[in-house]
Amino acid sequence: MKKDIMIKIFKKGKLIDGAKIASKNRLFVNGWVLGDQLRDLKRIREDRYDLLKRRLILIAYKNDIDQLPVGCCYIINKQIMIFIRKRFRRQGIASELYWKAVKEQNVKNHFNTYGDFGTGEKFFSTIYCVKIKDKLKEL
């Protein structure tokens, strides 16, 4: 893992806290699926936490800038959405989030992308070339 990046994982009962942090720090693009998903998560009542079982939020923080949240990864079932603030892109943060999610969810095949591909097409095309079992040996 990059030394200047810290990744915090939110799951089960803490998932809503992760959604609030991501929303408050605008770790999404207005009108894209991720923003809608985060908003919907914040509305789930505690008695419906069974809906959160196969979901996960990872937030990347930049250690050298007062723990600034710079990226968000949201997983629902086997589908993934990733957003990185523009000025922090092309620094390996999305890759760190992706591989941390793979390890956390213990997946055998790559996640499916969810929503708009947008500028992530090149990113995902390079990620999907890597074999998961080979990458997990490095982690």
Least confident of 55-69, 94-108, 125-139: 125-139
Least confident of 14-28, 44-58, 74-88: 44-58
82 within 8 A of 71, measured Cβ to Cβ: yes
82 within 8 A of 42, measured Cβ to Cβ: no
- Tell me which residue of 134, 138, 69, 90 sits closest to 108, measured CA to CA: 134
Residue 102 DSSP one-character state: H
Strand partners, 81: 74
* pLDDT of res. 114: 56
pLDDT tens digits, 114-132: 555 555 666 666 666 666 6
**CATH number of the domain where residue 51 is located:** 3.40.630.30
Domain that holds residue 106: 5-138
The helix/strand/coil state of 113 is strand
Q: What total number of domains does the chain contain?
A: 1
